[in-house]
Amino acid sequence: MGKKNELLILIAFAVILVVAGVVGYYFISTSNKAKQDKVSETPPIKELTQEEAKEGMIAINNFDSETRAMSKGMFEKAINRKIFLTNGDIQTEFPLHREVIVVCTENNIDELTSIEYKDDAMKLYGPDSIGTIISPNEPIAVVTQELEGVATVHTIAISSESCPE
């Protein structure tokens, strides 16, 4: 009887460990999903006034040019405050700034080397709106600024034909 009791205790202990592991995994996985599902409270669209556009242009032009860069590619998606673009087989992901300037340009995106900030061709959007205003496979150029060691998108250039109203 002694060995049967030891075996039953060992089996009960193993069952308890398995149940505790499954419950722990469930709570950890649902906790992470809840964090990802939170919706941002950023207002969806805010058009720039002329004064705001000029202030934004001054702020952008005053960024440290050593930490500013431009990337080009095809827009894939924008979710969870991140933008995804592809260039050939390479997919690049960037976090979006809390406010993103969308600049409509008549220049060819592939040949773009700098962005001209014109009052009538700029609109300010929250990061959660970007995925709704740019179509998938749209050629875009993004301008990033290094914030806390991470290249963060603050400006997106798109073709004038695709520019949101």
Q: Provide the whole-model pTM.
A: 0.60
The better pLDDT of the pair 40, 153 is held by: 153
The better pLDDT of the pair 119, 104 is held by: 104
Whether the CB-CB separation of 105 and 113 falls below 8 Å is answered with: no
Whether the CB-CB separation of 95 and 81 falls below 8 Å is answered with: yes
Q: What whole-number distance in Å separates Cα of residue 107 and Cα of residue 112?
A: 7
Q: Where residue 1 falls among pLDDT bands split at 50, 70, 90? A: low
Which tokens hold the place of 149?
Answer: 């060691």
The pLDDT mean for the chain works out to 77
CA distances from residue 84 to 50, 114, 122, 154, 156 in whole angstroms, order as listed? 30, 21, 21, 14, 12
